[in-house]
């Protein structure tokens, strides 16, 4: 570019603007080194059953991501062996230290920023390239990916996919670049499925610049990487995810404008930042409409007035195509996540770079200052899972945030080492009631709410809330809520109703329901049922003790002593197939 260019970035050494951007980005996220693991980190990082040893390297390539947790039967459809490898390397080098894990996350983000800048420098002038990279680097919605170690795969996949594009973006490429580009895409795919976007984006970039595809070996290299990935995925048996419940797609379609409003506002006004958004509890469109209109206005300006309009189109297509797969999570779980905007922000960075003809220094400075300020205000909320949900419920309360916070308070409330256990347990119950009282009720708390009241020694309220949850709030008449309601009824002396509720369990009586049936039969003089059921469950040596405890709770102290003194029969003498719970 000529020395008299209006673009101030063109007058600086080529590496200096990038170095400054990387330094600012690293400093903006530096405080994450002081936060703990939170939310999905607890399952995928702390409690992961494979990443504790690099000897399990082969298993990383043969397992569904979520089947490596304490729930090996889980099927998510996510095949991410290199993500597991990165977690294993963290543990091998640093143990379960969250500080080093978060530094590792930041390094991947910095790599993605540098590679996006390198790609943009092949496409536009230095100033617009820096502006596009800065949008990706510092936009506050990126914070969720960096704050959650379990979301590292987003930054890994983005960095490696961008590396593949940087190596292959020229019209032709030598063997070294072909091999490197193919290997980079394969690695990206082994981090997250969103890297499937890379071959389409290479074609889009070719069409934007030359109106026709470049040399075919570049596409062949990416195609080979894709074929290898699909083969590995098929061999691992990770071909299908669990189908979402019927009707979920209709719910998402019905809320499509609300979803668009939320994400549109997050791009132009990223506050409040919170990971706790659910499709049933989105703000009304009139609250997000201004942000969505501003976003669409900026898109229209870029398309109408942008310097490189074809590149603007490519960036917008990148953003849209990389965002659409996230709707599968919304359909499946109802969740909306800021992390789903991570790779789309790279597309918006490309679109911004294509729209500009020079670096707007004042606008860039204002953006950096505002973004860093928002990040410093939000990142302290990521201290741990409870802190995240406390803040989420404070800034944008919904039945969903009430239920999420209740889960962590309940966990702390049953911790014997917690000096505030009683207060946490009581508050968790109030939040569960709040979640069920919402419109619509947040029914994920159904299986916990009666149990939590029993643990808080509020048996009478447990009966009242359990009946309310089943009759008025749509909790399903199955599962733990029935078992725990039966226990609550027995504990308040309503033995006949307790036994009826326990026996109403679809699929047969089990767990706490068996305790209720045994205790109810004992009250009618049938002690043999309790003895036979205990003999049929050698894995539960405390069964009779739990029956006796329930009898004492229901006012049958003398009978409880008799049950506790019963001898256990051998399994051969246990209850016949027609007995309760068999």
Q: The tokens 């679809």 sit on which residue?
A: 506
In angstroms, the CA 207 to CA 212 distance is: 5
In angstroms, the CA 338 to CA 145 distance is: 8
| Residue 3: per-residue pLDDT | 46
Among 131-135, 252-256, 397-401, 531-535, where is mean pLDDT lowest?
531-535
Q: The tokens 């990279």 sit on which residue?
A: 133
| Residue 540: per-residue pLDDT | 79
Question: Is the pLDDT reported for residue 461 higher than 60?
Answer: yes
- In 3D space, the residue among 393, 336, 293 whose CA is nearest the CA of residue 141 turns out to be 336
Positive or negative: CA dihedral 572, 573, 578, 581: negative
Mean pLDDT confidence for 410-438: 95
| Residue 229: per-residue pLDDT | 96
| Residue 530: per-residue pLDDT | 83
| Residue 242: per-residue pLDDT | 56
Question: Is the pLDDT reported for residue 151 higher than 60?
Answer: yes
Question: Which one-letter DSSP state was computed for residue 55?
Answer: G
Is residue 372 packed enough to be buried (19+ CB in 10 Å), middle (13-18) or exposed (0-12)? middle
pLDDT more than 70, % of the chain: 94
In angstroms, the CA 454 to CA 413 distance is: 12
CA angle 318, 135, 185 (to 5 degrees): 40
Question: Is the pLDDT reported for residue 369 higher than 70?
Answer: yes
Positive or negative: CA dihedral 495, 497, 502, 507: positive
Summarised one tens digit per residue, pLDDT across range 496-507 is: 999 999 999 998
Q: Which residue has the higher pLDDT, 193 or 14?
A: 193
Burial 323-346 (b: 16+ CB within 10 A, else e): beebbebbbbebbbbbbbbbbbbb
Mean pLDDT confidence for 443-461: 94
pLDDT more than 90, % of the chain: 74
For the CA atoms of the chain, what is the radius of gyration? 28
Summarised one tens digit per residue, pLDDT across range 206-246 is: 999 998 998 899 999 999 999 999 999 999 988 665 566 66
The CA-atom distances, in angstroms, between 157 and each of 52, 105, 237, 422 are 23, 12, 21, 44
Positive or negative: CA dihedral 463, 468, 471, 474: negative
Burial 72-93 (b: 16+ CB within 10 A, else e): eeeebbebbbbbbbbbbebbee
| Residue 571: per-residue pLDDT | 45
Residue 356: strand, helix, or coil:
coil
| Residue 243: per-residue pLDDT | 61
Which run of H or of E encompasses 500?
helix 495-503
Mean pLDDT confidence for 507-519: 89
What's the whole-number average pLDDT of the chain? 91
Positive or negative: CA dihedral 434, 440, 445, 447: positive
| Residue 582: per-residue pLDDT | 36
Structure tokens at 40: 């999905």
Question: Is the pLDDT reported for residue 576 higher than 60?
Answer: no
Mean pLDDT confidence for 21-35: 95
pTM of the model: 0.90
């Amino acid at each position: 570019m000529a020395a008299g260019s209006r673009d101030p970035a063109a007058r600086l050494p080529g590496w200096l603007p990038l170095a400054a951007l990387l330094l600012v980005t690293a400093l903006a996220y530096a405080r994450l080194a002081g936060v703990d693991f939170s939310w999905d980190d607890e399952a995928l990082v702390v409690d992961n059953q494979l990443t504790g040893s690099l000897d399990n390297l082969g298993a990383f390539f043969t397992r569904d991501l979520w089947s490596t947790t304490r729930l090996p039967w889980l099927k998510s459809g996510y095949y991410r062996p290199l993500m597991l490898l990165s977690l294993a390397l963290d543990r091998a080098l640093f143990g379960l230290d969250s500080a080093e894990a978060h530094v590792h996350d930041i390094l991947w983000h910095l790599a993605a920023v540098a590679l996006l800048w390198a790609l943009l420098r092949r496409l536009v002038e230095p100033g617009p390239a820096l502006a596009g990279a800065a949008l990706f680097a510092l936009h506050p919605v990126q914070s969720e990916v960096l704050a959650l170690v379990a979301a590292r795969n987003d930054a890994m996949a983005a960095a490696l996919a961008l590396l593949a594009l940087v190596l292959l973006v020229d019209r032709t490429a030598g063997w070294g670049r072909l091999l490197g580009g193919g290997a980079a895409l394969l690695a990206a795919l082994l981090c997250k499925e969103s890297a499937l976007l890379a071959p389409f984006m290479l074609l889009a970039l070719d069409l934007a610049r030359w109106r026709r595809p470049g040399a075919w070996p570049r596409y062949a290299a990416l195609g080979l990487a894709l074929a290898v990935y699909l083969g590995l995925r098929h061999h691992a048996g990770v071909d299908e995810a669990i189908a979402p419940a019927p009707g979920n797609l209709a719910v998402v379609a019905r809320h499509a404008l609300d979803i668009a409003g939320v994400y549109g506002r997050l791009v132009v006004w990223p506050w409040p930042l919170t990971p706790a958004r659910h499709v049933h509890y989105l703000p009304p469109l009139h609250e997000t409409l201004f942000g969505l209109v501003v976003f669409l206005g900026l898109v229209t300006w870029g398309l109408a007035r942008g310097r490189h309009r074809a590149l603007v189109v490519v960036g917008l297509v990148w953003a849209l195509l990389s965002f659409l797969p996230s709707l599968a999570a919304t359909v499946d779980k109802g969740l909306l996540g800021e992390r789903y905007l991570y790779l789309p922000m790279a597309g918006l960075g490309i679109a911004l770079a294509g729209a500009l003809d020079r670096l707007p220094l004042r606008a860039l400075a204002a953006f950096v200052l505002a973004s860093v300020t928002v990040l410093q205000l939000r990142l302290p909320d990521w201290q741990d899972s409870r802190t995240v949900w406390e803040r989420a419920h404070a800034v944008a309360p919904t039945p969903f945030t009430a239920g999420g916070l209740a889960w962590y308070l309940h966990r702390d409330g049953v911790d014997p080492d917690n000096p505030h256990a009683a207060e946490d347990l009581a508050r968790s119950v109030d939040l569960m009631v709040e979640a069920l009282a919402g419109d619509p009720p947040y029914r994920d708390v159904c299986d916990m709410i009666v149990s939590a009241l029993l643990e808080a020694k509020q048996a009478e309220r447990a009966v009242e809330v359990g009946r309310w949850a089943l009759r008025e709030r749509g909790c399903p008449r199955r599962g733990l809520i029935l078992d725990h309601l039966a226990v609550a009824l027995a504990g308040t002396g309503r033995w006949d109703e307790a036994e009826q509720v326990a026996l109403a369990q679809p699929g047969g009586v089990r767990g706490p329901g068996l305790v209720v049936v045994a205790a109810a039969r004992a009250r009618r003089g049938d002690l043999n049922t309790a003895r036979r059921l205990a003999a049929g469950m050698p894995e539960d040596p405390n069964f009779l003790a739990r029956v006796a405890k329930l009898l004492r709770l229901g006012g049958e102290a003398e009978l409880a002593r008799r049950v506790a003194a019963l001898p256990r029969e051998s399994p051969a003498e246990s209850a016949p197939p027609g007995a309760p719970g068999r």
